[in-house]
Amino acid sequence: MSDQQIYTDFKNDMTYADYLSLDQLLAAQNRLSGHHDEMLFIVIHQVSELWMKLIIHEIQAACESLLSNQFEPAFKQLARVSKIQEQIIKAWDVLATMTPSEYIEFRDSLGKASGFQSYQYRLIEFSLGYKIPHILKIYEQDQDIYQVLEKAYQEKGLYDIAIDKLSEAGFHIPEDILQRDFSMPYKKNADVKAAWSEVYKDSATHWTLYQLAEKLVDLEDWHQQWRFRHMKTVERIIGFKKGTGGSAGVNYLKSVLDTYFFPELWDLRTEL
């Protein structure tokens, strides 16, 4: 393309900046302290929230694909989630360039605001089956967000749908698992593990379910790496101080590292 073919008159046409709403997006980094590194802090968290929005979009699509037995689209959507997770983990590496001395200069400006309050992160956890009753209270002041979270809290998660697929394929899954209270955290079950074990022992016969299981393991593996990098970045910057939102900080982040979304898929690896 020659320079003469490049469009330069946008009086009546949408521009790149218009399409991406860049005026609003780039005006959203409002430092409260004026400290140089507060810009880094804001941008990293905003970028992470954008990635989380895409994670939620893809997980919801994958759930819909699985419910309609469209496995191949679901696999692509879950694979994309894993790639997004890889990117979001790298964001912690950038934030870790900030030292404790730099962060302390503007930390008080945050007040009680904390990443612990990220409602998108809660939506991701709920979709993966990690549900804690008291966590919803944080969002009661915003009824629009609360209703979205409450709906996700009551619904089947991704793993519940995967277990349904095991049952539909003829594996014995107890009715109390298929019809459980989905607002409660999932507890591992011997029959579910036995079903997944059979899938792995005869992957050629159960190739679709085998692929689904591995996509779930990929997703959880990356999520645990995300959690770990989060924990180590926080420890590096604030040590064992409490979080600005009142959480136990590093101690809380360490405690969730031993939490599994898809426990049977990890347990069976020891027994195969």
End-to-end CA distance of the chain: 58
Binding residues for heme: 230
Q: What does 14-80 look like in DSSP terms, one character per residue?
A: --HHHHTTHHHHHT----SS--TTHHHHHHHHHHHHHHHHHHHHHHHHHHHHHHTT-HHHHHHHHHH
| Alpha-carbon gap, residue 98 to 236, rounded angstroms | 9
Q: What angle do CA 258, 100, 242 make, to 5 degrees?
A: 45
Q: What angle do CA 127, 129, 132 make, to 5 degrees?
A: 110
Kindly report the backbone phi and psi dihedral angles of residue 69, in degrees, each rounded to the nearest multiple of 5, phi listed first: 60, 30
| Alpha-carbon gap, residue 166 to 116, rounded angstroms | 34
The answer to whether residues 194 and 150 touch, using CB atoms and an 8 Å cutoff, is no
| Alpha-carbon gap, residue 195 to 172, rounded angstroms | 7
| Alpha-carbon gap, residue 161 to 170, rounded angstroms | 15
DSSP 8-state assignment for residue 13: S
Binding residues for substrate: 41-45, 103, 107, 244
CB-based contacts of 107, cutoff 8 Å, min separation 6? 238, 244
Binding residues: 41-45, 103, 107, 230, 244
| Alpha-carbon gap, residue 115 to 28, rounded angstroms | 17
